A and B are shown apart, each in its own frame.
Chain A
Amino acid sequence: MSSRNSWRDFRGWIEDRLGLDAILDFLHNKRVPQTRHTVWMYTGSAILLFFVIQVITGIVLAFYYRPTLEEANKSVARIMTDIPLGWMIRSVHFWSATFMIAIVFVHFLSIWILKSYRKPRELTWMTGVFLLVFSLAFGFTGYLLPWDDLSLSATKVGTDIPRAIPVVGAWVTKLLRGGDDVTGDTLTRFFGIHICVLPLALLFFLVFHLFLIQKLGMSLPLEAELKKEKIEEIPFWPNFVYREAVVWLVLIGALISLAVFLPPSLGKVADLMAPAPKGIKPEWYFLFLFQTLKLFPANILFITGETLAVLLIFAAVVLFFFLPFIDTRPAERRGRVIVASAYALIIYALAMSVWSLLQ
Chain B
Amino acid sequence: MRKSRKIQAPALLVSGILGLSLLAYVSGKTVSRPIQAQPKKQTQSASPQAAPVGQTQEKQGVENTKGSDKIVPAFKNIRERTAAYVFLGWIWAAVCVLIYILRQKVKEVDRLYKAKFFDLPVSKGED
- Residues in B with CB closer than 8 Å to A83 are 50, 53
**Nearest CB in chain B to that of A80: its residue:** B35
- Residues in B with CB closer than 8 Å to A7 are 127
**Nearest CB in chain A to that of B37: its residue:** A81
- Residues in A with CB closer than 8 Å to B125 are 8, 11-12, 15
Choose among A235, A238, A263, A268 the residue that contacts B70 (Cβ–Cβ < 8 A).
A268
Contact with A along B62-77 (1 / 0, CB 8 A): 1011011111110000
- Residues in B with CB closer than 8 Å to A268 are 65, 67-70
- Residues in A with CB closer than 8 Å to B53 are 82-83
Interface of A is mostly: helix
- Residues in A with CB closer than 8 Å to B98 are 245, 249
- Residues in A with CB closer than 8 Å to B64 are 77, 81
From residue B53, how far is it (CB to closest CB) to chain A in Å? 6
From residue A45, how far is it (CB to closest CB) to chain B in Å? 14
Is the pair B102, A74 in contact by a Cβ cutoff of 8 Å? no
Given A234-B110, A242-B109, A249-B99: A88 and B65 within 8 A (CB)? no
**Nearest CB in chain A to that of B68: its residue:** A268
CA distance A35 to B67 in the complex (A): 58
When A and B form their complex, what is the total count of cross-chain residue pairs whose Cβ atoms lie within 8 Å? 125
CA distance A266 to B98 in the complex (A): 36
CA distance A243 to B60 in the complex (A): 47
Is the pair B34, A21 in contact by a Cβ cutoff of 8 Å? no
Is the pair B73, A263 in contact by a Cβ cutoff of 8 Å? yes
Residues of chain B in range 37-68 having any CB-CB distance to chain A below 8 Å: 37, 44, 50-51, 53, 57-58, 60-62, 64-65, 67-68
- Residues in B with CB closer than 8 Å to A234 are 110, 113
> Which of A153-161, A206-214, A252-260, A326-334 forms contacts with chain B?
A252-260
- Residues in B with CB closer than 8 Å to A267 are 70
Max chain A CB contacts within 10 Å: which of B34, B57, B64, B99? Answer: B64
Is the pair B102, A81 in contact by a Cβ cutoff of 8 Å? no
**Which positions in B face A, CB cutoff 8 Å?**
30-31, 33-37, 44, 50-51, 53, 57-58, 60-62, 64-65, 67-73, 84, 87-88, 91-92, 95, 98-99, 102-103, 105-106, 109-110, 113, 118, 122, 124-127
**Which positions in A face B, CB cutoff 8 Å?**
4, 7-8, 11-12, 15, 21, 24-25, 28, 73-75, 77-78, 80-85, 87-88, 91, 148, 234-235, 238-239, 242-243, 245-246, 249-250, 252-253, 256-257, 260-261, 263-269
CB<8 Å pairs between A and B, sample of 15: A8-B126, A74-B58, A80-B35, A81-B35, A81-B61, A82-B53, A82-B60, A83-B50, A87-B34, A87-B73, A148-B70, A235-B113, A239-B109, A250-B95, A253-B91
